Every structure is written in C-alpha cells, then in structure tokens.
Structure 1
Amino acid sequence: MQHLRRCVELAKEAFEAGDEPFGSVLADGDGKALFEDRNRIASGDATRHPEFSLARWAAEHMTPESRAKTTVYTSGEHCPMCAAAHGWVGLGRIVYVSSSEQLTLWLGELGAAPPPVRPLPIQTIAPDIPVEGPIAGLDEEIKHLHQQLHAGR
C-alpha cells in the first residue's frame, strides 16, 4: 500500500503541475522503491508517461534478471504504449490503482474527449505480465483528480 499511496501522491503532483494525474513507482524484488515518476505530457511530448519512463530507466540501469523480479505500482492501468514498453523491457508484475475501463467510464461521464489511443487492458498487449487492480478506495482518489482536471480544475 505504501507504493500505491505514493503513486496517488505523484498523480496529485502531476495534476498540480498542470499535467494529467498519473504517477508510478518501480520497486525491486524485495519491495524497495528504485525509481518513480509522474506524467509530464504538458511539455508537449505525449509519450512522457511515468510507466514508459520507468521502463526506460529499468532498461538502462538493471539486468534482465532483476527487471523480471520488479513490480510497477501505478495510479492508472498502463496504456498500450506503456504496456508494450513494460513487456519489451521484461519488467515483472503490475499493480494499478484504477483501470483503463474505469478511466474510460469516468471520461465518458465527464463528457471528455476519448484518448487518441484505444485504452486496451494490459494483458491484451502483454499477456504474460501478472496484473493486479483496481484498488478499491484509492481508485476514488484518482477519479476525483480526473473530475477536477476535466471540470476545469
């Protein structure tokens, strides 16, 4: 729960910085946090998702064996781009606070435009990755951030 709560904090940081509310933490096989990031797409680069950043960091700093033992904790289920990066780099388990299905429902309720890429479940893109989520209670905090974002803050 500590890492998941940190993901929610990172999502809030992203929101407060003018970004979409997403945050992620990469932990090793012993549960030690190694790297974290938040969404940074307000820069104009729509690929600056935290999950992609974690995959890139892991590829540069970890062995394939140690990458396979990791867990990525994240505020929202990986988009297809991030799920592919996760799979290509060989990271381990994913635990997410809110699902792509939830996000799609929330955006629809808010009248927000759908994302430019279809929000497919992680296991549709990378079927061998163990996945857990959503996390009841914490997902409501993420929903609230999306509501604030699409209600004009």
Structure 2
Amino acid sequence: MPVTDADRRVLARAVELAREAIDAGDEPFGSVLTDASGRTLFEDRNRTSGGDETLHPEFEIARWAANNLAPDERALAVVYTSGEHCPMCSAAHAWVGLGRIVYAASAGQISGWRSEWGLAPSAVAVLPITTVAPGLPVDGPVEPFASEVRELLRRAALG
C-alpha cells in the first residue's frame, strides 16, 4: 500500500516520540497506534533504560490493543514506528492480530548503521517483520524519516 500524507503525519509523531526517548536516556524508538480512521489510540516510546529490555513501544502497543480493542478493531488498526519491529515485537503484533505496520527505518538499515559505527550487533537476530509474521501488511522504510532515525541512533550511540 502506498504511504500517504496522513501516514507521514503519524510517522512524524513516532519519530518525535523517539526523540523524546533519547532525551529521557532511552534508545530512540517511538510508536503510535491508530484506528482505521487514523485517530490515535495509543502511543509510547522506548523505556529500556531501567534495565528491562522488553519495554519496547511496539510491544506495549500490542499489550494495550489486546486489552482494549476487539479483534476486528485490531485487524484494522495501523502501527507507525520509528524503527522496524524486532522479532519480539513482530510476534506480539501478529499474536494479537494487529493490522498494517508503517516504519521509518528498517531493521537492516539500523543494523548496518550500528555496524558502521563499530557498535556490537543486536542481541537478537535482525529479521524483517514479514519473516517473523508472514502476511502482515508492511510499508517502509520511509524517507526523510529514516534519515532522522539514523541521526537519533547516532546521537544515542556516539553522543
């Protein structure tokens, strides 16, 4: 599905949440859940600085959706996120039956940037969402947001 101007507006908010995360000492990731009409239902940012590496915003969206939306509402919902879901978040998204995902930067891009900067690889395999959850509608990466995410990640990693 083509990325629309409406998608870009919500994706900009996800990147803004990533910026808020880095300002709070967390890794720069942010996500927004919308309903089928584009109304924001839930948003969050990475909160892993306390030591719990599972506190990803995509995972929190899945938990929130499972507790607050009917299955048909989940299927029509859209998740916008600054970085492509990790395998844990991809699985959570699929298990609760959420719909389309739009991401700014791909997991492959993020992994490549980290390698370029001499950082250790991720603790988990770098897999596209559709490898973990085949059949999910996914759009990304999306410029200029991918470049913004790259800069946030660089800032978080290198100061």
Q: 1:128 aligns with which of 113, 135, 138?
A: 135
* Correspondences of 1:86-101 after superposition (within 5 Å): 86-101=93-108
CA distance in 2, matches of 1:113, 1:149: 14
Give the AA of the match of 1:16: D
Give the AA of the match of 1:93: R
3-state SS in 1 of match to 2:101: strand
Residues 126-146 of structure 1 deviation map (CA, whole Å, 9 limit, x = unaligned): 001100000011111100011
Whether 1:145 and 2:140 are equivalent positions in the alignment is no
Give the AA of the match of 2:51: G
**1:36 aligns to what?**
43
**2:75 aligns to what?**
68
**2:10 aligns to what?**
3
CA distance in 2, matches of 1:83, 1:59: 14
> What is the TM-score when the length of structure 1 is the normalising length?
0.98
**2:89 aligns to what?**
82
Whether 1:111 and 2:97 are equivalent positions in the alignment is no
**1:23 aligns to what?**
30
C-alpha displacement of 1:10: 0.3
Give the AA of the match of 1:94: I
> What is the TM-score when the length of structure 2 is the normalising length?
0.94
Equivalenced residue count is 152
Once the two structures are aligned, what percentage of the paired residues are identical?
A: 56
Residues 80-110 of structure 1 deviation map (CA, whole Å, 9 limit, x = unaligned): 0000000000000000000001001100011
Q: Structure 1 regions of 5+ residues with no counterpart?
A: none
CA distance in 1, matches of 2:42, 2:156: 26
Q: Could you say what the CA RMSD is over the residues aligned between the two structures, in angstroms?
A: 0.5
Residues 29-56 of structure 1 deviation map (CA, whole Å, 9 limit, x = unaligned): 1111100000000011000000000000
**2:5 aligns to what?**
none
3-state SS in 2 of match to 1:78: coil
Structure 1 moving runs of 4+ over 6 Å = none
